[in-house]
Structure 1
């Protein structure tokens, strides 16, 4: 579904991503792990067109999307739930959801899609008229993911979905990711909680200093000395 080959991103003279290769298949969860500053969010932003690449190729569903504008990539079936949720705090939950599908469907179809998502996100149903900024962090994260799903993506890029959440809400978010994969969605997951990410992922890659240091099945990475010592706290 998604193939990135040798992608590079620069911030001025600084090369933030140095020839990253990764892929995500149909109905697959792939985790991208690494320390802060390794380039994980930069990679996601480059894949969905928010940052320009200076080298490499990005293919999505068999089409070369390298250099495409973010809105065109979004309409092709890729959606990003960014780090920090970034909901529109002064708008209601319902308004946030409607904006999520505004470029992809007419109002009638968006209303139908919204109803489908409220079955998947029951916590949002009783909050529809509430301003998003007044919700808890966990509720905002659910809204951010639901807003991304309003465009009916084939591939969801999730950037640190558990960041700042209480343990109980973290479990709910990861249960949701598993449910979305079972429903047929492909997911590229950037996640600080490496243990949980490897529990639900099919494959994973370790990003260090802007380059892929290690890739393999989630089981292989969970047993890797590099991952156990650097990210799982096992010595």
Structure 2
């Protein structure tokens, strides 16, 4: 589904990502784990086009995306749910969903997509006319994911979906992520909670200082001395 080759990302004179290679197979849930500031979110931004890579290639289903604007990349089949949720706080839940799908569908099709999201996320149906900024953190995360799904992406990029949420709410968010995976959606997940990420992923990459330090199946990474000592406090 996704192949990244030699990705380099710079912020001015600072290089944040150093020649990263990774791939995500169709229907896989792959996670990027590592410390805060390791470059994980920058990699997602480079894939989504919100930060154009300085070098390297990004291919979706074999088709090059490198150099395309973010809105074009989204139409090619990639949706990013950003860190911190970033819902439109002064718009209602329904308006947020509408904006998530307006570039991809019109009329009855757009309404059908919205109704599908409200069926999948009953709490959003209850809050349909409520301003997004008044929702709880967990409800905003659900809305952010639902807004991304309005484009019916081939690949969903999730950036720190557990950030700032209570443990019980995190469980609900990750139940949703597992359901999406079971339904066949391809997911690339960035998560600072390494144990949680590896519990749902098929494979993973350890990112350190903007480079891939280690890769393997979720079970291989969970049993790795590097991961256990640096990220699992074992």
Q: Name the TM-score, length of structure 1 as normaliser.
A: 0.98
Q: Distance in 1 between matches of 2:139 and 2:107?
A: 24
Q: 2:175 and 2:107 mapped to 1: Cα distance? A: 30
Secondary structure, aligned partner of 2:226? helix
Give the whole-Å Cα distance in 1 for the aligned partners of 2:32 and 2:61. Answer: 20
What aligned pairs does 1:1-235 form with structure 2 within 5 A after superposition? 1-234=1-234
Q: Give the paired residue count.
A: 234
Task: Give the CA deviation at 1:12.
Answer: 1.1
Greater mean alpha carbon deviation, residues 212-221 or residues 107-116: 107-116
Instruction: Please state whether the residue corresponding to 2:163 is helix, strand or coil.
Output: coil
Work out the CA distance in 2 between the residues paired with 1:228 and 1:192. 14
1:184 offset after TM fit, Å?
Answer: 1.3
* Structure 2: distance between partners of 1:182 and 1:161: 18
Q: Does 175-184 or 89-98 show the bigger shift?
A: 175-184
How far does the alpha carbon of each residue in 1:154-210 deviate from its partner, in whole angstroms, 9 at most, with x for none? 100000000000111100111101100111100000011110110100000000000
Compute the displacement of 1:107 (Å). 2.8
- Counterpart Cα distance in 1 of 2:3 and 2:27: 15
> How far apart are residue 123 of structure 1 and its match?
1.0
Tell me the distance in 1 between the aligned counterparts of 2:229 and 2:120.
37
Rounded Cα–Cα distance in structure 2 between residues aligned with 1:204 and 1:233: 18
Instruction: Determine the C-alpha separation between the residues in 2 that align with 1:207 and 1:107.
Output: 43
Q: Distance in 2 between matches of 1:114 and 1:168?
A: 26
How far off its partner does 1:64 sit? 0.7
Distance 2:228 2:19 in 1: 25
Tell me the TM-score normalised to structure 2 length: 0.99
- SS of corresponding position for 2:85: coil
1:208 & 1:107 partners in 2: Cα distance? Answer: 46
Higher mean alpha-carbon deviation, 111-120 vs 219-228, is at 111-120
Q: CA deviation at 1:31?
A: 0.4
Provide the C-alpha distance between the structure 2 equivalents of 1:209 and 1:192, rounded to a whole number of angstroms.
14
Q: In structure 2, how many angstroms separate the alpha carbons of the residues matched to 1:220 and 1:122? A: 37
For 1:26 and 1:217, how far apart are their aligned partners in 2?
A: 16
